[in-house]
Amino acid sequence: MTLSSSQQQDQHSRFELRTLLETSRLLAESHDMDFVINNLLLITMGKLMVGRGMVLLFQPAKGIYRVSKSKGKNCLPEGETVEFDDVETIQKQSVIQCATDEFPVPELIKEDDSCTLFNLQTRNSHIGFLCLGSKGNNTPLKQHEIEFIESLTIISSVAIANSRMFTELKRINRTLDRKVYELNTLLDLSKDFNRMVDWQEIIRIFKFAMLGQMLIRKFFFVLEQDNRRATVATNSIQGSLKKADIDELFSLEADIVHVDDELQQKIPFLKNNEIKALISLYFQDKKMALVGIGARANAEPYSESDFNFLQSLGNLALLSIQKTLLLEERIEKERLEEELNIAKSIQQGLLPHPIPTHPKLDITAKNIPSQQVGGDYFDILVTPEERLLFAIADVTGKGTPAALLMANIQAMLHVLLPIDITLMDATGRINDMIYQNTPSDKFVTFFWGIFDPVENTFSYVNAGHNPPLLFRKDEEAYSELKEGGLILGAMPTTTPYENNKIALVSGDLLVFYTDGVTEAMNTGQTEEYEEERLINCIERNRGKSSQEIMQAIIDDVNSFSDNIQYDDLTLIVIKVK
Q: What is the pLDDT of residue 534?
A: 96
Q: What is the pLDDT of residue 428?
A: 93
Beta strands, E only, 122-169: 126-132
For residues 167 and 358, give the distance between their C-alpha atoms in angstroms, rounded to a whole number.
Answer: 92
- Type of residue at 171: R
Sign of the Cα torsion 353, 443, 484, 545 reads negative
For residues 74 and 76, give the distance between their C-alpha atoms in angstroms, rounded to a whole number.
Answer: 7
DSSP string, 13-47: HHHHHHHHHHHHHHHHT---HHHHHHHHHHHHHHH
Average confidence (pLDDT) per 10 residues, the chain, 577 residues: 48 55 64 84 86 92 91 90 86 86 81 87 90 85 86 85 83 72 71 74 82 84 88 89 91 91 92 92 88 88 86 85 77 72 68 89 91 78 91 80 78 84 92 86 91 95 96 89 94 93 95 94 90 95 95 95 88 95
Three-class DSSP labels, 218-285: CEEEEEEECCEEEEEEEECCCCCCCHHHHHHHHCCCCCEEECCHHHHHHCHHHHHCCEEEEEEEEECC
Contact 247, 302 (CB under 8 A): no
| Pairing of β 484-485 and β 457-463 | parallel
Q: Which H helix or E strand runs over 340?
A: helix 304-350
Contact 56, 66 (CB under 8 A): yes
Contact 118, 93 (CB under 8 A): no
For residues 373 and 551, give the distance between their C-alpha atoms in angstroms, rounded to a whole number.
Answer: 22
For residues 150 and 462, give the distance between their C-alpha atoms in angstroms, rounded to a whole number.
Answer: 106
List residues bridging with 66 in a β-sheet: 57, 81
Contact 298, 333 (CB under 8 A): no
For residues 404 and 385, give the distance between their C-alpha atoms in angstroms, rounded to a whole number.
Answer: 30
Number of Cβ within a 10 Å radius of residue 513: 28
Q: What is the pLDDT of residue 339?
A: 65
CATH superfamily of 5-167: GAF domain (3.30.450.40)
CA within 13 Å, CB half, 223:
19
For residues 106 and 161, give the distance between their C-alpha atoms in angstroms, rounded to a whole number.
Answer: 26
DSSP secondary structure code for residue 485 in this structure:
E
| Pairing of β 361-368 and β 569-576 | antiparallel
Which distant-in-sequence residues (6+ apart) come within 8 Å of 104 by Cβ? 84, 85, 86, 90
DSSP secondary structure code for residue 311 in this structure:
H
Query: Is it true that 5-167 and 196-326 share their CATH fold?
Result: yes
Domain boundaries, the chain: 5-167, 196-326, 352-576
The yes or no reply on domain 196-326 and CATH 3.40.50.1110 is no
Q: What is the pLDDT of residue 128?
A: 93
Helix/strand/coil percent split, the chain, to 5: 40, 25, 35
Q: What is the pLDDT of residue 7?
A: 46
For residues 331 and 337, give the distance between their C-alpha atoms in angstroms, rounded to a whole number.
Answer: 10
Query: What is 352-576's CATH topology?
Result: Phosphatase 2c; domain 1 (3.60.40)
Distances (CA, A) of 214 to 221, 238, 260, 294, 310: 15, 21, 22, 11, 8
Sign of the Cα torsion 309, 311, 316, 317 reads positive
Q: What is the pLDDT of residue 156?
A: 85
Instruction: Using alpha carbons, select from 88, 89, 101 the residue that is nearest to residue 60.
Output: 88
Q: What is the pLDDT of residue 102?
A: 77
Q: How big is the chain by its Cα radius of gyration, in Å?
A: 46
For residues 137 and 143, give the distance between their C-alpha atoms in angstroms, rounded to a whole number.
Answer: 17
For residues 69 and 77, give the distance between their C-alpha atoms in angstroms, rounded to a whole number.
Answer: 8
Instruction: Using alpha carbons, select from 379, 400, 409, 371 the residue that is nearest to residue 565.
Output: 371
